[in-house]
Structure 1
Amino acid sequence: MQKEKVVLSKHDKIRRMTILAMFVAIIIVMGMVPFLGFIPFLGLSFQIITIPVIIGAVILGRKEGLILGTVFGIVSLIRGAMSGGFDFLFVLPWISVLPRMIFGWVIYDVFKFFKKLLPKNRLVALALGFLIVSLIHTLLVVPMLATGFPIVFESPSIYEGVLKGEYGADTIAGLEGLQSFNTIIKWMFGVLISNGIGEAVLAMLIGSVVTDRLIAYLTSNNESILIGSVYEVSN
């Protein structure tokens, strides 16, 4: 039997848009305030800005996840233009925006899978979802980031941009060493281990608890905000 589509009232739509705007504002603030959403680490930032993107996508739904992921990508692009080292490579939209759009879109499916896998243990399902989705984000971004290496030496503006910042010269020296496919693969695995796993664990520990409490509150109040989300009240 096909599930009947719930039509939101104008009031409910405005409330959902307000909450979406709130998450957008959080992402922008975290992205633009130094050491808040992006924590510099040896020329490449340690990112916790993924946490509000994931929470918003789980609470609001797939389309909203795409919007939040796109905002995340645009903020990353703008911040890249203001940064040096590896972070400057995020001025390239296929490195900053495209992976984050895909990331925002797939959040719903990953959390839906774990919800069905662990229907009686929401916190564990959320924790696994945050862990896997955060790793997916890293796996989407790092290969794209590697495509920017050759462009650095072909474009004077990008070369100068990379040289900006505390680790600029070290970054250029590192890029010059990435001349072979095997070296690039080793570099990508290094970033996955040093940044990706740390970001995933932090997202799991913080995000799962915050999201679980939000869902508990919204569910107990039978909030229409959850309509269309992973943990829709009528599910």
Structure 2
Amino acid sequence: MWLGKGKIMKKTISKREQTRQMTILAMFIAIVAVLGLVPNGLGGTLGFIKIAPTIEATIIHIPVLIGAALLGRKFGIYLGLAFGVISNIAAFIYSSPLFIYPWVAILPRILFGLIIYDVTQFFIRVTKNKLIGTGISFFILTLIHSLMVLTMLFTSYSMVLGTGVWADDFVPYLTLLVFLNVPWASLIEMGMAAIIGGIIVVRLSMYLKTDKTVYTEDDFNEDSN
């Protein structure tokens, strides 16, 4: 009798857990959408912070890091895909020539989402400290993300040169991006991801764990005794 109830309870709680994961996923995608699409009044979106006249740092990748670290590899891919698609849409809305191509805006972000969970778990095991391990992994993952996107940007070089009005500004823009914006902005992005992301992951994981109870058949057998 208890065995049957145990199976039913386990199945019900499993469905509840799936529903909760999908809700959390939707929440993070919504945050990415707001950061990536809502204008900030400075010609960009809320996800970009102007550090200097020619230097902008992004925080859009931080919700992706946090969500993937908490939810796992599969959800990391979903978040990376959402990040890429939103970035691609924003490129058309805000006339950004570099991210109108899917292999620049979307492909690196999917790969980024794919590796987040495993890299984070690796550094947590190595450091034996969730906060430090998560901070180190987010620092490194942000650098990897920047390098992947920058690599794909160069593949669109000749295409952008043939797109008319954007072509005149592309070479100086790319030069500015590579030699000034990327080094400084990337350092700021890595630091913010490590500090903000690390703290949020630790706090959220503690909160989520309090409701993550899965009853097994053995639990019900012990209760029946």
State TM-score, norm by structure 1. Answer: 0.75
Q: How does 1:180-199 map to 2 (within 5 A)?
A: 188=178, 190-199=180-189
1:140 maps to which residue?
148
Aligned AA (2:136)? L
> Which entry has the higher C-alpha Rg, 1 or 2?
2
2:162 maps to which residue?
154
Aligned AA (1:141)? V
Aligned AA (1:207)? G
Unaligned 5+ segments in structure 2 are 1-9, 41-45, 215-225
1:134-164 deviation line (CA, Å, top 9, x unaligned):
11100100111122222122233xxx3x37x
CA distance in 2, matches of 1:173, 1:112: 40
Quick check: 1:38–1:47 contact (8 Å CA) kept in 2? yes
Quick check: 1:127–1:204 contact (8 Å CA) kept in 2? yes
Aligned AA (2:120)? F
1:223 maps to which residue?
212
Give the counterpart of 2:172 among 158, 171, 174: 174
Aligned AA (2:74)? K
Aligned AA (1:110)? V
1:107 maps to which residue?
116
2:18 maps to which residue?
13
1:126 aligns with 2:134: yes
Question: What is the count of residue pairs matched by the alignment?
Answer: 198
Residue 88 of structure 1 and its aligned partner are, at CA, apart by: 2.4
Quick check: 2:55–2:180 contact (8 Å CA) kept in 1? no
2:33 maps to which residue?
28
1:42-73 deviation line (CA, Å, top 9, x unaligned):
67852101000000001100000000000000
Q: How does 1:49-128 map to 2 (within 5 A)?
A: 49-84=60-95, 87-119=96-128, 121-128=129-136
Q: Aligned in 2, Cα 1:172/1:211: closer, same or farther, shift over 3 Å?
A: same
Residue 192 of structure 1 and its aligned partner are, at CA, apart by: 3.5
2:198 maps to which residue?
208
Aligned AA (1:81)? F
Aligned AA (2:150)? V
- How high is the sequence identity, in percent, across the aligned residues? 39
Unaligned 5+ segments in structure 1 are 1-5, 164-168, 179-183, 226-235
What is the root-mean-square deviation in Å for CA atoms of aligned residues?
2.6
CA distance in 2, matches of 1:47, 1:83: 15
State TM-score, norm by structure 2. Answer: 0.78
